[in-house]
Amino acid sequence: MTDPKAVKFIFQQGVRCLESQDFASAVALFDDVVKLTPDNADAWFYRGSILGHLQRYPESIDSFNGAIALDPNNTKFWFHRGTTLASWGKYKEAIANFDLVLESEPHNYQVWDSRGNSLIGLNLNEEAIASYDRALELNPDFYMAWNNRGKALTNLSRWEAGLQSYDRSIKIKPDCPEIWYNRACLLMRAGQLKQAFASYNKAIKIDQAHVPSWINKGITLSKLGQDKESLIAFEKALEFAPNESSAWNNRGLTLRRLGRIPEAIASFEKSLKFKPDDGDAFYNKACCYVLLDQVDLAIKNLQQSIKIDPDEYLNSAINDSDFDAIRQDNRFQEIIHSVRRGDLK
């Protein structure tokens, strides 16, 4: 016979592990709880949430299904099932879950916000804005909805309106680095590089370890022609996230512009260590090997990039002046022809 006190203790331990982000221990504890009390809907729910954090999405959804089978009218279960589906990239299914919750809770501003996020995932930005507007009608101080609304407006290249949304979000939550980062990304896309630089610095001032801001600060500095300062920003990003492939790749591009070609190649190789299917890194290595007159290695790396994304990298290679030095080489011409024939595997 199951001891209710023992089950309660295991349940509480699982919640504590979840709160401390020890997800592996938490899921093991909730595995025990659902074995001991398979009719415990909350245990299935917590187990689903933890599996979502571990990105074990099919198991997570199965666990939420177990909770819903026991308590089908619990909107919390449906909402978290929806957020997990969204994290999995299944945006249409996520929206169906959010809509179901909104049938009984039409004033739940957080659900409207999450619904908007999934609509952005489907590139339905106008519909997303309508969802965020509904969330903000219900709670004008919900800063995340202002922030997310800014993202949708940025996607539509509506720079002024997007900036206003971010500024409203910042007015409510001035110490959130993510909002300053998103604001900077809008300014960067709008070509306002100096203003973008200032916003990235704001994000970094709030959170010294905000890696995306360090990376984009480096890119902005490169666009402003300040490659030495750009290199410092990428290396700062790598202090906090040494496995971040995009930082290694951008560092390599900067080193290449500075004429430090062997170091650039080493940086691209680091990027590939952490992201073996990084077509940009293979392509950029190929460009470097052209500069070193190492044609075999240039061809080999170009082939690798084209295998990853033929449309992008073939078109780039055809039009990129970096390959002018080997454009008439038979090996380069053979790559072009083999892709067009569909022979490159």
Q: Is residue 45 part of a domain?
A: yes
Q: Is residue 305 part of a domain?
A: no
Q: Is residue 27 part of a domain?
A: yes
Give the domain range for residue 41. 1-72
Residue 311, Cβ density class (10 Å: 0-12 exposed, 13-18 middle, ≥19 buried): exposed
Query: Residue 1 above 60 pLDDT?
Result: no
Residue 336: per-residue pLDDT? 82
First to last CA, the chain: 60
Residue 337 confidence class, pLDDT cut points 50, 70, 90: confident
Q: Is residue 55 part of a domain?
A: yes
Range in 72-76, 187-191, 340-344 the model is least confident about = 340-344
CA distances from 52 to 47, 66, 333, 341 (A): 9, 15, 48, 43
pTM recorded for the entire structure:
0.89
Q: Is residue 270 part of a domain?
A: no
Instruction: Please state, in angstroms and rounded to a whole number, the distance separating the CA atoms of residues 207 and 20.
Output: 21
Kindly report the average pLDDT of the chain as a whole number. Answer: 95
Query: Residue 344 above 80 pLDDT?
Result: no
Domain count across the chain: 1
Q: Is residue 58 part of a domain?
A: yes
Q: Is residue 38 part of a domain?
A: yes
Residues 102 and 112 sit within 8 Å (Cβ to Cβ): yes
Residues 131 and 119 sit within 8 Å (Cβ to Cβ): yes
Residues 288 and 256 sit within 8 Å (Cβ to Cβ): yes
Q: Is residue 13 part of a domain?
A: yes
> What CATH number does residue 44 fall under?
1.25.40.10
pLDDT in tens, 7-34: 899 999 999 999 999 999 999 999 999 9
Structure tokens at 40: 């415990």
